[in-house]
A = this chain, B = another copy of it.
Amino acid sequence: MKVLVTGGAGFLGQRLARQLLSRGSLPNSLGVQETISQLILLDVVPAHDFGDARVRVVTGDIADGALMRQVIDAETTSIFHLAAIVSGQAEADFDLGMRINLDASRLLLDVCRERGHVPKVVFTSSVAVYGGALPDVVQDHTALSPQSSYGAQKAIGELLLNDYSRRGFVDGRVLRLPTISVRPGKPNKAASSFASGIIREPLNGENAVCPVSPELRLWLLSPRCAIESLIAGHALSAQSLGASRTINLPGVSVSVGEMVAALEKVAGAEVAARIRFAPDPAVERIVKSWPGAWDVTRAKALGLSADASFEAIVRAYVEEELPR
């Protein structure tokens, strides 16, 4: 089987690729394990190929039909569609967000439909599809009401994937991801970038600015659990999903103040003191519109799980990413 990962050079794409190469196989639509013969990592910048002969690195624009017809053929049994313009950037550049988050997602589905082989397609969605007056714990039947263009584009992608699946064009599943924390590396243009930065920068001996208040509640997932969830979500059978292809993934509900306390507990008061609070209304408006928790009964029944606590997330980050 061939596997395509869009956003394959990105943080999650690279981690997913490493996991897929190490596992070596994935279940197909019949639930039968198939050996991964080729793993295409598609992105706007070249992905690392891990020196693995199975990896094919493709660089280009996922909104380009010719390119997408080149990377998806009738042997492309599984697609992980991770490429996206993040929330802050989609708010700043409306056209770019529409082109990548909406048009390219639809193009991907249309190319699958042309091929006619009904591949498994995993879409990642986000807490950002919710908004407005939300209950403390969002339910599966709570209406989507995105308060950002990114959230609207993701919600539209969900509707498309569900309808293309219902019509039998793809065997799709949407995994709504909590905010990923702690991401290693540099800040990005996501409105939620601080949710990693306020842990990562202090641990690296740097100061961090937190643009939201300590009371704000976030719904978080570690990178490791995110990758496990993507692979587990891919493995689910179409029958187990039923009429709705969308799953709210389990996460950890934590306030920003509790995140700081967890950092202090793991790394000490001196490290936690490197965080300065300086509210940024633009960031706060977007992040406040996201749910701080959602009901995960369905996800748990499907066998999906999250981290034990935010403290466990910080400890895992320290072990995996800080080489001292």
Which A residues have a C-beta under 8 Å from some C-beta of B?
A: 94, 131-133, 140-147, 149, 152, 155-156, 159-160, 162-163, 166-167, 243-244
Contacts and interface: CB of A to CB of B under 8 A. Distances in A.
Contacts of A145: 162, 243-244
Contacts of A146: 159, 162-163
A241 B88 CA distance: 26
Question: Main SS of chain A's interface residues?
Answer: loop
Ranked 4 nearest A-B pairs via Cβ: A152-B163, A141-B143, A143-B143, A152-B159
A79 to B, nearest CB: 20
Contact of A160 (B147, B156, B167): B156
A143 to B, nearest CB: 5
A147 B159 CA distance: 10
5 contacts: A132-B244, A146-B159, A152-B159, A152-B163, A156-B160
A166 B146 CA distance: 10
A155 B156 CA distance: 8
Contacts of A244: 132, 145
Nearest to A152: B163
Contacts of A160: 152, 156
B152 A162 contact: yes
A114 to B, nearest CB: 12
